[in-house]
């Protein structure tokens, strides 16, 4: 849907409020309209039920020097109007899914959310971002947020915000996030040469209504009562207004001169401002999914940062965050260029890289710092520690699997220069890198390159100390070796190296 309006030279994006009947879509948009003193336009309602859509239009901020216009629509929730609902969902640049979080309606709400998510994902191209606005948090039967977040996380790639639409809580946060996701999508389309320019038939509420009616006529199966002409019904022209400070969305391209990272030591040691979600589009990678991930990180469990060497690093049970203390850009263009190069490096690694990660250029104190946020995934260190404390049979099988997976990953990733260690390799059959990815062209690049180790040396380096400690603690060496031999069925060259190296470590050679 994102389009450059050829007549007005404005960027138009569409945000759709979806959800099951009575979840609070119209209430959310009505509340938003009140916040900005705008009238909500509704083609038709029967007994308070939306039949086509509600419509609100905002103009705010700049994209590449062009004014941004956000069209906000709600869908009709009724099952018999589903074709109208899909018509609107399919045209979205971002979706706010208003989730009825009461106990009675949660299951049906999630079922609809999952269907919508699958439909958008199956379309290919740049998927619109989804904000789950968990509504009716004031209801005594509202399901705990932890349950909702856990279920949303299982589905993946959705941001979660709490709301009480009737009181106005959370409405603005969900909206601003959706605008940013819509802009991320528009920018990604532009980079792929897919951002259209023209005059959209559905560029006004009246035009959208005409378009929906005409597509129903074509299908020859009108699925609900018709609305009178919108402008007749609303009695006037449609307004636009700004809901937030335009600087919030202003992300024009900076054509400033390219400067290298600022190596100022004082900056390296000053604690950086904590990462937040206030990142302009174009300064986050990947475009839409990266913002959703960053929102999740900032709204669930921000890691406490500590200073290690020249880096700032945070680690908790869910996340790893990292910023190189020496890398600080005074020019937006320089930061963007570095970010793009770093993102390209990620893309070049391909499928072997864990998917839940993002890169962000964060502006504070008249400069830009580059961050990476990685969701923690099960790694080989966890497998080894669990195995070594679960008796010799499990220890043998666990050590064999860990060593084998470590070697496969090291060979798969050696061309990328990724540091393959037991805490950076995922505990999965296909080689998977789950650790931090260094900037390809950092200031200390040459010093960081680690020498290529032989298979045996790598196993010794990564597993040796832990195995020796388990032996000191009394694990049965003979039974552990027996378990290793039992699990080694393939007997190829790599398996032989794994088995013989583990044996020699266990027997203290
Ligand atoms: N307690 C509570 N009630 C809410 C909240 N949000 C909406 N409601 C109520 O839920 C009912 C339905 O709200 P609507 O906004 O009309 O729902 P809708 O999703 O637009 O419904 P359809 O247009 O039929 O799909 C109304 O009575 C609202 O007052 C909320 O956060 N808390
Ligand atoms: Mg409604």
One DSSP character per residue, 27-75 reads HHHHHHHHHTT-PPB-S-EETTEESS--EEEEEEEEETTEEEEEEEEEP
Which ligand lies nearest to the CA atom of residue 22 in the structure? 1
Looking from the CA of residue 167, the nearest atom of ligand 1 is 31
Per-domain boundaries in the chain: 3-195, 301-375, 380-442+453-506
Q: What is the pLDDT of residue 165?
A: 98
Q: Which H helix or E strand runs over 340? A: helix 332-349
Share of the chain above pLDDT 90, in %: 63
C-alpha of residue 25 to centroid of ligand 1, in Å: 7
Looking from the CA of residue 27, the nearest atom of ligand 1 is 15
122-126, 235-239, 499-503, range with the lowest pLDDT:
235-239
What's the mean pLDDT in 228-237?
34
How high does pLDDT run on average in the chain? Answer: 85
What's the mean pLDDT in 303-332?
85
Q: Residue 392 in contact with residue 487, Cβ under 8 Å?
A: no
Ligand 1 pocket, residue 168 CB under 6 Å: no
Q: What is the pLDDT of residue 160?
A: 97
pLDDT digits (tens, 9 = 90+) for 132-184: 999 999 999 999 999 999 999 999 889 999 999 999 999 999 999 999 999 99
What is the distance, to the nearest Å, from the Cα of residue 475 to the centroid of all Cα atoms in its chain? 43
Whether the per-residue pLDDT at 25 is higher than 60: the answer is: yes
Which ligand lies nearest to the CA atom of residue 54 in the structure? 2
What's the mean pLDDT in 190-205?
84
Ligand 1 pocket, residue 470 CB under 6 Å: no
pLDDT digits (tens, 9 = 90+) for 469-501: 999 999 999 999 999 999 877 778 889 999 999
| Residue having the nearest C-alpha atom to atom 21 of ligand 1 | 22
Q: What is the pLDDT of residue 274?
A: 73
Q: What is the pLDDT of residue 314?
A: 86
Q: Residue 91 in contact with residue 202, Cβ under 8 Å?
A: yes
Ligand 1 pocket, residue 48 CB under 6 Å: yes
Q: Residue 36 in contact with residue 72, Cβ under 8 Å?
A: no
In which band, very low, low, confident or very high, does the pLDDT at 442 lie, cut at 50, 70 and 90?
low
Q: What is the pLDDT of residue 271?
A: 65
Ligand 1 pocket, residue 23 CB under 6 Å: yes
Q: Which residue from 415, 403, 396 is spatially nearest to 457, judged by alpha carbons?
A: 403
In which band, very low, low, confident or very high, does the pLDDT at 244 lie, cut at 50, 70 and 90?
very low
| Residue having the nearest C-alpha atom to atom 28 of ligand 1 | 24
Which ligand lies nearest to the CA atom of residue 98 in the structure? 1
Which ligand lies nearest to the CA atom of residue 30 in the structure? 1
C-alpha of residue 74 to centroid of ligand 2, in Å: 7
Ligand 1 pocket, residue 19 CB under 6 Å: yes
What's the mean pLDDT in 179-201?
90
C-alpha of residue 166 to centroid of ligand 1, in Å: 8
Ligand 1 pocket, residue 166 CB under 6 Å: yes
Judge if the upstream peptide bond of residue 286 is cis by omega within 30 degrees of 0: yes
Q: What is the pLDDT of residue 138?
A: 98
Q: What is the pLDDT of residue 236?
A: 30
pLDDT digits (tens, 9 = 90+) for 96-116: 999 999 999 999 999 999 999
Whether the per-residue pLDDT at 256 is higher than 70: the answer is: no
Ligand 1 pocket, residue 135 CB under 6 Å: yes
How far apart are alpha carbons 292 and 297 in whole angstroms? 9
52-61, 149-158, 402-411, 439-448, range with the lowest pLDDT:
439-448
Ligand 1 pocket, residue 40 CB under 6 Å: no
Whether the per-residue pLDDT at 221 is higher than 70: the answer is: no
Give the number of other Cβ atoms within 10 Å of residue 43's Cβ. 25
Q: What is the pLDDT of residue 201?
A: 66
Q: Which of 24, 26, 54, 116 to mutate to test the pocket of ligand 1 (most atoms within 8 A of CB)?
A: 24
- The token duo for 98 is 């208003």
Q: Which residue from 458, 332, 467 is spatially nearest to 407, judged by alpha carbons?
A: 458
pTM of the model: 0.81
Q: What is the pLDDT of residue 219?
A: 65
Q: Residue 480 in contact with residue 506, Cβ under 8 Å?
A: yes
Report the SS3 class of residue 93: coil
How far apart are alpha carbons 254 and 252 in whole angstroms? 6
Q: What is the pLDDT of residue 409?
A: 95
Q: What is the pLDDT of residue 124?
A: 85
Whether the per-residue pLDDT at 313 is higher than 90: the answer is: no
In which band, very low, low, confident or very high, does the pLDDT at 507 lie, cut at 50, 70 and 90?
very high
Which ligand lies nearest to the CA atom of residue 81 in the structure? 1
How far apart are alpha carbons 129 and 231 in whole angstroms? 31
Ligand 1 pocket, residue 236 CB under 6 Å: no
- The token duo for 72 is 């906000």
Q: Domain 3-195's class?
A: alpha beta
C-alpha of residue 509 to centroid of ligand 2, in Å: 73
Q: What is the pLDDT of residue 447?
A: 43
Q: What is the pLDDT of residue 322?
A: 93
C-alpha of residue 78 to centroid of ligand 2, in Å: 9
Ligand 1 pocket, residue 170 CB under 6 Å: no
Q: What is the pLDDT of residue 235?
A: 32
Q: What is the pLDDT of residue 449?
A: 53
Q: Which residue from 354, 452, 440, 449 is spatially nearest to 407, judged by alpha carbons?
A: 452
How far apart are alpha carbons 322 and 127 in whole angstroms? 27
Ligand 1 pocket, residue 22 CB under 6 Å: yes
88-97, 136-145, 299-308, 339-348, range with the lowest pLDDT:
299-308
C-alpha of residue 418 to centroid of ligand 1, in Å: 51
391 torsion bin: left (phi>0), alpha (psi -120 to 50), beta (else): left
Q: Which of 32, 134, 166, 169 to mutate to test the pocket of ligand 1 (most atoms within 8 A of CB)?
A: 166
How far apart are alpha carbons 19 and 133 in whole angstroms? 10
What's the mean pLDDT in 403-417?
93
HSE-up of residue 37 (Cα within 13 Å, Cβ side) = 2
Q: What is the pLDDT of residue 229?
A: 37
C-alpha of residue 85 to centroid of ligand 2, in Å: 11
How far apart are alpha carbons 378 and 350 in whole angstroms? 19
Looking from the CA of residue 98, the nearest atom of ligand 1 is 19
Q: What is the pLDDT of residue 355?
A: 93
Provide the Cα torsion 278, 284, 286, 291; round to 10°: 0
C-alpha of residue 24 to centroid of ligand 1, in Å: 3
Ligand 1 pocket, residue 138 CB under 6 Å: yes
């Amino acid at each position: 849907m994102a389009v450059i309006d050829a007549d007005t030279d404005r960027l138009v994006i569409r945000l759709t409020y979806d959800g099951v009947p009575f979840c609070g879509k119209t209430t959310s948009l009505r509340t938003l309209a009140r916040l900005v003193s705008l009238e909500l336009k509704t083609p038709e309602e029967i007994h308070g039920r939306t039949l086509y859509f509600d419509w609100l239009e905002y103009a705010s901020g700049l994209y590449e020097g062009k004014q941004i216009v956000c069209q906000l629509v709600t869908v009709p929730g009724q099952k018999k109007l589903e074709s109208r609902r899909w018509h609107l969902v399919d045209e979205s640049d971002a979706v706010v899914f208003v989730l009825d979080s009461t106990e009675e309606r949660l299951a049906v709400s999630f079922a609809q959310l999952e269907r919508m998510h699958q439909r958008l994902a199956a379309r290919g191209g740049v998927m619109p971002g989804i904000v789950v606005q968990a509504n009716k948090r004031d209801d005594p039967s509202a399901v705990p947020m932890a349950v909702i977040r856990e279920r949303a996380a299982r589905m993946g790639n959705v941001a979660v915000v709490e709301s009480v639409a009737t009181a106005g809580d959370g409405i603005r946060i969900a909206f601003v996030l959706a605008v940013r996701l819509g802009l991320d999508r528009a920018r990604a389309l532009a980079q792929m040469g897919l951002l259209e320019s023209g005059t959209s038939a559905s560029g006004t509420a009246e035009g959208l209504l005409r378009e929906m009616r005409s597509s129903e006529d074509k299908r020859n199966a009108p699925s609900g009562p018709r609305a009178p002409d919108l402008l007749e019904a609303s009695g006037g022209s449609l307004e636009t207004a700004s809901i937030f400070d335009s600087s919030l969305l202003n992300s024009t391209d900076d054509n400033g001169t390219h400067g290298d990272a600022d190596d100022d030591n004082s900056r390296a040691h000053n604690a950086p401002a904590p990462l937040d979600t206030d990142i302009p589009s174009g300064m986050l990678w990947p475009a839409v999914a990266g913002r959703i991930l960053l929102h999740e990180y900032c709204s669930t469990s921000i890691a406490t940062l500590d200073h290690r060497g020249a880096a700032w690093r945070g680690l908790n049970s869910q996340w790893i965050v990292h910023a190189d203390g020496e890398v600080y850009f005074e020019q937006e263009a320089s930061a963007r260029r570095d970010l793009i190069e770093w993102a390209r490096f990620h893309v070049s690694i391909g499928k072997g890289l864990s998917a839940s990660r993002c890169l962000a250029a964060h502006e504070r104190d008249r400069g830009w710092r580059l961050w990476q946020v990685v969701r923690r995934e099960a790694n080989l260190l966890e497998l080894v520690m669990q195995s070594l404390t679960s008796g010799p049979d499990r220890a043998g099988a666990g050590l064999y699997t860990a060593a084998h997976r470590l070697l496969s990953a090291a060979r798969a990733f050696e061309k990328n220069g990724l540091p393959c260690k037991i805490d950076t390799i995922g505990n999965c059959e296909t080689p998977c890198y789950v650790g931090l990815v260094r900037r390809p062209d950092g200031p200390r690049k040459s010093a960081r390159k680690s020498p290529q180790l032989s298979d045996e040396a790598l196993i010794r380096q990564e597993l040796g100390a832990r195995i020796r400690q388990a032996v000191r603690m009394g694990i049965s060496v003979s039974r552990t070796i027996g378990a290793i031999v039992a699990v080694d069925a393939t007997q190829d060259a790599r398996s032989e190296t794994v088995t013989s190296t583990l044996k020699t470590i266990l027997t203290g050679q």
